[in-house]
Structure 1
Amino acid sequence: MAVFTTQSQNSLMGKITEKSTNLPLEQVSIYFPDLQKGGVTNENGEFKIGNLPLGNYKVVASYIGFQSFSQNIVIQQGENNLNINLAPSAIEMDEVIVSTPFHKLQRDNVMKVEYARVAALKSTGAPTLVEGIGKIPGVDVVSTGVGIGKPAIRGLTSNRVLVYTQGIRLENQQFGAEHGLGVNEAGIESVEVIKGPASLLYGSDAMGGVLYLNPERFASAHSIEGDVNLSYNTNTRGISSDAGIRSSGENLRFLARVATNNHIDYTGGDGKRVTNSRFNEKDLKLGVGYQNTVFTTEMRYNYNQSNLGIPESIDVQTTSRTPELPYQKINNHILSSKTKIFFENASLDVTLGYVGNDRKEFEEHHHHDGEADHGDEEGHDETALDMKLQTFSYNILYQLPKWEKFETVLGVQGIHQSNKNYGEEALIPDATTQDIGILGTTHFHLNENNDFQLGLRYDHRKIVGTPYGIVGEEGYIAELNQKFNSFNGAFGYKNNFSEAFTGRFNIATGFRAPNLAELTSYGGHAGANRFEIGIADLKNEQNIQLDLALEFKNEHVEFFINGFHNSVRNYIFIAPDGTFINDKSVYRYLQQDATLYGGEIGFHLHPHPYDWLHLESSYQTVFGELDKGEPLPLIPANKLTNTFRVEFLRKDGWWSKSNAFITLNNIFKQGKISENETISPAYSLLDAGFSGELTLMNQIIKFNFSANNLLDKQYIAHLSRLKTDGIFNMGRSITLGATILL
């Protein structure tokens, strides 16, 4: 009882008002990012957050229509007070960035990080999470129909882009071109994108960037929250639904969410359904947390089951929701544990993770033949591919006490990964991968206008694989025993030239160890009409990237320009060698230096006094070529996006918020192509949508209506894997959605 009394004495209370009128602001979010604890103001603008540990912590206050507030505050024994004035701003509020170690607002971060709320991405009508992420400038999608897609950041994808969810790295055989993201958007609150080498923070595979998925927060203390989400897509007759509940006491916190997603074959711009592009999934997310003045801890679990048809042609037109052969059946188990221990002006973060990825692929000539028995588990004799990947990860970060104007983090990270095959074929061998990395990074706040950040890291990776098959025959994989090492560093500088102008300069190195497919392939795998041969002595890919960013932002205008130059040593690619094996063209993995460069430009205007009016425009471009001058494959086409948007916010009445937009996406001709690609012509897509929030019988309901490809354009995206078959991307697609807050 005495301990509880001592804990509850440490609190922060205060009042949040509007700067120009000094009137109280209700429903303002006030949050401690380091503590993952917060609350909202009442009708008088007052708040109180209890059970706080002693020390120096950042506190953030944010509210739509106002500039976000961020300040470090020292929590002392007993009651602490903080009154805040928020200044109005029609520009979207800044958010706290958690993918970098110092948890700063976007405007205070030395490294440029893109941030987007999943709810905002869904309101554009994107049928899947990865399609929504592809709307962020600098991000594209390598797709196989609608259900299978993976992000491409500034021309790099697959094992060159690392995905984090629940604070741990997601490992799901991402080497495969037809292997999708593998995460359902339900229970994902926001997305952060690091565009460029992030090996300093995350190690191998982050040389192209990081996609960081932030799970939904727990409810505020002493509250229970719930919601139900429903949506329907006219093109795929897609039905998506999820429901969640969050409950928090003074110390204990809990959340749960279930979701389903079910789609038939999508219709292209030519009016024909793409056979076997159907998919369905079920998803469960659970979380439990505990917090006191000494430490905070949480555990999260995510189970996802997906059945994904693999489209190959346009055949019999059907509205079946059950995938045909060939199809993938995937079971993902993601378990994470995050604990933060507080010391006097210091803290220790320990994150542990487990990802179990069970990936099966069924093909027609293997189905029900009953001739093979390659495992003890039921059904293994029916699968062409059956790979079980288990990954254990750890991430331990110690934030040193602040010294003068320095914030410093030291850490050790690593994974232990094993892959096992049970199917009739093996794309990669049974293998074990072990990683360990040691890092240190510091942030130096010289003054209000100048910030520096630098760091250094060392990584060691060991891969051991067992032989598979018969020497000289197709599919043979030799024994593998390889070690890879790399030093990487990063330096960044941010300068606030004035209240409106900010400049950023970053230089960073990254690396990627070759994946198992590149090291061991020997055969015509995954139904590809080619014979692939890997090289066991491939070297690390190593890159160095320069980033330069300039931003201007005031109350009514926002402008940014980002440029980058990325030099990659020992870039791994696949190309034909002019020979044939078993009537299949032979493709070999090769290495050669490569260069990528380009950037993004954006503009946002909301003229005074018409703060409800928004004009937004962005342009992105990427160029990539090998050292000998040949273009790199899978380089996205240049894109210009223009949006006209209006939004209205009312503080009273049954209809409180409304938003409408119309967007024109201009995708330019991609004529700089690799040897195995074809030119993609230019095309334009028109999107539109409307959303709002209303209150009926004290029940808050959010709704949205959106239409993608409104003119039913026939087009094929350059990064579509169905392009070689001449299969169009999705035609007109209308999405209706509703969220009911319980």
Structure 2
Amino acid sequence: MRVLLWLLAVAWVSFSAYGQQTYTLSGMIQDEKQRPLPGTSVLVTPGNFGVVSGADGVFLFENIPTGTYTIAVSFLGYHRFSDTLLLRNDLRLNIRLEPEMQTLREVTVTDHYEEQRKREESLNIEVVNDKFLKQNLGGSLMQSLERLPGVSSIDIGSGQSKPAIRGLGFNRVVVVENGIKHEAQQWGADHGLEVDQYAFDRIEVIKGPASLMYGSDAIGGVIDLKQIETPPKHTLGGNVNLTGKTNNDLAGTSAFIFGRKEKLFFTFRATLLDYADYRVPTDSVDIYSYRAALHNNRLRNTAGKEQNLHFSGGFQNNGTSTRFYVSNVRTKAGFFANTHGLEPRQVDTGLHDKSARDIQFPFQEVNHFKIINRSAVLKKNRQFRMELGYQRNFRQELSPYTNHGYMPSVFPSNMPFAAELERQFEKNIFSGNLKSTFQFSEKTEGTAGINSEYQKNRIHGRGFIIPAFEQITAGAFAWMKYKVSEHSQLQAGIRYDFGNIRTTPYHDWFESPVVTGEDTVWSFLQRAPELDRSFSSLTWSAGYNYNAGHFSLKANAGKSFRMPIAKELAANGVNYHRFSYEKGDPELSPEVSYQLDVGMEWNTRKFAIGITPFLNYFPNYIYLNPGFEHDRLYGNGNQVFYYTESEVFRCGGELHTHLNVARNFKTGVILNYIYSEQLSGDKIGFTLPFSPPASALFHLKYTPKNQAWLHNPYFSVDFKVAAAQNKIVPPEKKTPGYQTLNLGMGADIPWKKQAISLSLQVQNLLNEKYFNHTSYYRLINVPEAGRNVILNVHIPFSTHLK
């Protein structure tokens, strides 16, 4: 508590102390031939100051407080310019932009912003922009990011997935949207991320423990989703994205508009997606001992639809800004009818095969509403930031009533829920972050802050797996950065976390017999008791960065912490989607991780090579361990799994190399490898569940010269090779290796002062039948999607306001 109070005091002092002193920042933007570039976007952060250069290429910022800033300059067809400025008096710049040459680094899409972030972070980080997302558009956001080193996804059909970083997923990866941690029902293997992949302008992936800044669940890494920055003054614009996919007959559109006068600005986006059952390269699926035939190679009842709305609006002036974000993401998607509840013989195939676009039982509906406020105040050498958020995640799973065990054969009419309502979860989340950054000197910078979150999750329906619960977490941190020399810096920080979780007792809604001696009594069995547990931990992180010329080196060591969630502590029911009966352990300890990350890179204009190894040790890793029993009371003979903890060692890393073979021809390779071993428990010597196999991605890209009617054309080939995954934790199945071939092409078509962007992908060109070891459907032998042609058309528009 003393640490928390001290950090609060530091944040308040840094916010309130000293008067405000401001300066002007001006300059001229020119092209490679020293001609002025009018209409160039100039953004200065923090503070999100934005302007557009005039007809003479000149820009001007007024009333900017003293401090360290990053200036970013962007103009269509030119490389983005980024630099760090120490503003202590009026400053004038002359900036020259270079024509964009489509460098090979687009294998992971980099620019000056990414290089700046990498120099600042001692953890390994990947940064992608909206251009990367359009050229690698997948069925979900995480499928679009799978091309990044160390990133994979746990897929649920063609439209949903959850992130995994270096083999760690679920509640070990934090997803941040506009500064607030995204909270849904992410603990479930069948629960995807309820986010709109069209809504983000830039995404940062931090690989490794980032608990210091982002809280306890960031033990494996962070996916930081960022919307478009504050629009430049006196602008009105937007874009329309049109998307089509052949595999599941998807048709989608996402329309975006933004505007700003002087101090006030707004953005608005609407997204509509509709897709049919997706196709796999096989005409049947072997579900354990039963072969289910597929009509036209489609997984029946995997169709879905998505309807999303986003709005933001705010105010910015003289170092003070505030912005509200409001979003509503609504999805409806079917579950593969032949697998839900493991009753493939009872499926009405005639009903499902009549149409590929309808959504029959079983299906899920999810609505995620979110409102966030981000405010910032810049005063002299200090910055104060505050983020407040509210979220409501409402999820329903529906299926026809089927009695198991002692459930009545006919559903009672007096129940408070419908017979078709299998499960319902309603989670309300309140979040708050306070952070203050202060500049002690030209070499020393510090940050202190606090995070807090309250969750209340209520349940309903005829099925049970986790009880209702309330959870509160709070953390305080302090972080320092010291510039040792022009090329190197040290970083270090500490954090204290506290958390409490309380679960509500749960009893069956139907009676079961309880035999005591010779007596049999019918009663409502208790499935979950009341729990009240608290956790706390002190964690730390220390890092070093060295950047000189073409060489960079970074290293980070740290301790991370994660408190067990309600499912790990109190689960006691059938997971119909994972085909298991799961039981929690109320005595589990909080998870602790020690990790060492290293990154080395040599980067020139023609050649780059980098390696990012890591070591990871868990004294008590929590995971779902298969037992020998089978449940026949609540399900259909599902194997019983127990949440347990084990000592675990992990290591691995990524290697990437890129080469400009010729001016218009580039090639690159990305390698991923992870090794895990349990050092204690009854699975000693085994790996961890859902461990991705070693893989390699070979990339070729050809960029012809620009034509009058065609700019930035490209043709690319990706060849992915995945090794067999023979190291498993039963009942996982060994997964054979595979190879896939993907094609990509695209270009910008000039149109007035804008450019229409076209991107075309052919995923799984050879329609290869293969299995992804981390896929949700792998347990029941469902292969990955077949050939898929994806077309995305991006139509921008903009104008200047008087």
Calculate the TM-score normalised by the size of structure 1: 0.92
1:715 to 753, 762, 770: 770
SS at match of 2:640: strand
1:613 to 660, 665, 674: 665
1:297 to 322, 339, 344: 322
Aligned to 2:308: 283
Aligned to 1:327: 363
Residue 411 (str. 1) matches residue 449 (str. 2): yes
Query: What is the CA-CA distance between 1:125 and the residue it aligns to?
Result: 4.2
Pick closer, same or farther for the CA change 1:424–1:704 going to 2, 3 Å.
same
Residue 635 (str. 1) matches residue 691 (str. 2): yes
1:625 to 663, 666, 677: 677
Aligned to 2:421: 383
How far apart are the structure 2 equivalents of 1:319 and 1:57?
A: 56
Query: What is the CA-CA distance between 1:40 and the residue it aligns to?
Result: 4.4
How far apart are the structure 2 equivalents of 1:478 and 1:292?
A: 54
Residue 252 (str. 1) matches residue 228 (str. 2): no
How far apart are the structure 2 equivalents of 1:366 and 1:649?
A: 63
Is 2:189–2:578's contact at 8 Å kept on the other side of the alignment? no
Aligned to 2:701: 645
SS at match of 1:723: helix
Aligned residue runs from structure 1 range 125-136, under 5 A: 125-136=137-148
How far apart are the structure 1 equivalents of 2:705 and 2:443?
A: 41
SS at match of 1:364: coil
How far apart are the structure 2 equivalents of 1:441 and 1:262?
A: 46
Is 2:63–2:318's contact at 8 Å kept on the other side of the alignment? yes
Larger radius of gyration: 2
Greater mean deviation of Cα atoms: 316-325 or 255-264: 316-325
Pick closer, same or farther for the CA change 1:574–1:111 going to 2, 3 Å.
closer
Aligned to 2:617: 567
Greater mean deviation of Cα atoms: 207-216 or 120-129: 120-129
Is 2:240–2:255's contact at 8 Å kept on the other side of the alignment? yes
Aligned to 2:474: 436
Deviations 1:620-640 (A, max 9, x none): 011112112111110011111
Aligned to 2:504: 466
How far apart are the structure 2 equivalents of 1:9 and 1:574?
A: 57
Residue 167 (str. 1) matches residue 192 (str. 2): no
Aligned to 2:346: none
Is 1:474–1:522's contact at 8 Å kept on the other side of the alignment? no
Aligned to 1:450: 488
Pick closer, same or farther for the CA change 1:65–1:639 going to 2, 3 Å.
farther
2:713 to 641, 658, 669: 658
How far apart are the structure 2 equivalents of 1:253 and 1:380?
A: 45
Aligned to 2:401: 365
Aligned to 1:495: 546
2:26 to 13, 21, 40: 13
Aligned to 1:227: 239
Which letter maps to 2:136?
Answer: T
Aligned to 1:4: none
Is 1:475–1:522's contact at 8 Å kept on the other side of the alignment? no
Pick closer, same or farther for the CA change 1:636–1:468 going to 2, 3 Å.
same
Residue 724 (str. 1) matches residue 765 (str. 2): no
Residue 673 (str. 1) matches residue 728 (str. 2): yes
How far apart are the structure 1 equivalents of 2:450 and 2:137?
A: 40
Query: What is the CA-CA distance between 1:18 and the residue it aligns to?
Result: 5.4
Aligned to 1:346: 382
Pick closer, same or farther for the CA change 1:577–1:389 going to 2, 3 Å.
same
SS at match of 2:766: coil
SS at match of 2:401: helix
Deviations 1:646-688 (A, max 9, x none): 23564x8332221211111111111111122111111111111
The gaps in structure 2 that reach 5 residues or longer are 1-19, 284-296, 340-348, 404-408, 515-523, 798-802
Greater mean deviation of Cα atoms: 690-699 or 478-487: 690-699
Query: What is the CA-CA distance between 1:528 and the residue it aligns to?
Result: 4.8
2:640 to 557, 564, 586: 586
How far apart are the structure 1 equivalents of 2:482 and 2:328?
A: 41
Aligned to 1:595: 649
Deviations 1:146-171 (A, max 9, x none): 12211111011101111111210011
How far apart are the structure 1 equivalents of 2:663 and 2:212?
A: 41
Aligned to 1:84: 95
Aligned to 2:82: 69
Which letter maps to 2:27?
Answer: G
Pick closer, same or farther for the CA change 1:420–1:95 going to 2, 3 Å.
farther
Query: What is the CA-CA distance between 1:698 and the residue it aligns to?
Result: 5.3
Which letter maps to 1:554?
Answer: T
Pick closer, same or farther for the CA change 1:699–1:403 going to 2, 3 Å.
closer
SS at match of 1:60: strand
Is 1:426–1:475's contact at 8 Å kept on the other side of the alignment? no
SS at match of 1:342: strand
Aligned to 1:694: 749
Residue 477 (str. 1) matches residue 528 (str. 2): yes
Query: What is the CA-CA distance between 1:695 and the residue it aligns to?
Result: 2.2
SS at match of 1:400: strand
Pick closer, same or farther for the CA change 1:448–1:324 going to 2, 3 Å.
same
SS at match of 2:506: coil
Which letter maps to 2:709?
Answer: W
Is 1:334–1:353's contact at 8 Å kept on the other side of the alignment? yes
How far apart are the structure 2 equivalents of 1:176 and 1:518?
A: 11
How far apart are the structure 1 equivalents of 2:104 and 2:61?
A: 28
Which letter maps to 2:772?
Answer: A
Query: What is the CA-CA distance between 1:531 and the residue it aligns to?
Result: 2.6
Which letter maps to 2:646?
Answer: Q
Deviations 1:69-111 (A, max 9, x none): 31213165xx6422224567746553546xxxxx953344332
Aligned to 2:576: 526
How far apart are the structure 1 equivalents of 2:209 and 2:315?
A: 34
% identical aligned pairs: 27
- Give runs of ≥4 in structure 1 deviating > 6 Å: 366-370, 471-475
How far apart are the structure 1 equivalents of 2:622 and 2:705?
A: 51
Residue 515 (str. 1) matches residue 565 (str. 2): yes
Pick closer, same or farther for the CA change 1:541–1:527 going to 2, 3 Å.
same
The gaps in structure 1 that reach 5 residues or longer are 1-6, 98-102
Query: What is the CA-CA distance between 1:186 and the residue it aligns to?
Result: 1.9
Pick closer, same or farther for the CA change 1:502–1:528 going to 2, 3 Å.
closer
Greater mean deviation of Cα atoms: 710-719 or 319-328: 319-328
Is 1:474–1:523's contact at 8 Å kept on the other side of the alignment? no
Residue 733 (str. 1) matches residue 791 (str. 2): no
Query: What is the CA-CA distance between 1:366 and the residue it aligns to?
Result: 6.5
Pick closer, same or farther for the CA change 1:502–1:127 going to 2, 3 Å.
same
How far apart are the structure 1 equivalents of 2:703 and 2:362?
A: 45
Is 1:401–1:407's contact at 8 Å kept on the other side of the alignment? yes
How far apart are the structure 2 equivalents of 1:693 and 1:709?
A: 25
Query: What is the CA-CA distance between 1:724 and the residue it aligns to?
Result: 2.1
Aligned to 2:6: none
Query: What is the CA-CA distance between 1:29 and the residue it aligns to?
Result: 4.2
Residue 188 (str. 1) matches residue 197 (str. 2): no
Pick closer, same or farther for the CA change 1:327–1:80 going to 2, 3 Å.
same
Query: What is the CA-CA distance between 1:461 and the residue it aligns to?
Result: 0.2
Is 2:323–2:374's contact at 8 Å kept on the other side of the alignment? yes
Deviations 1:171-225 (A, max 9, x none): 1011101000111112211211111111111112110111111112332111001
- Please provide the CA RMSD for this pair: 2.6
How far apart are the structure 2 equivalents of 1:119 and 1:164?
A: 20
Greater mean deviation of Cα atoms: 573-582 or 308-317: 308-317
Pick closer, same or farther for the CA change 1:55–1:724 going to 2, 3 Å.
closer
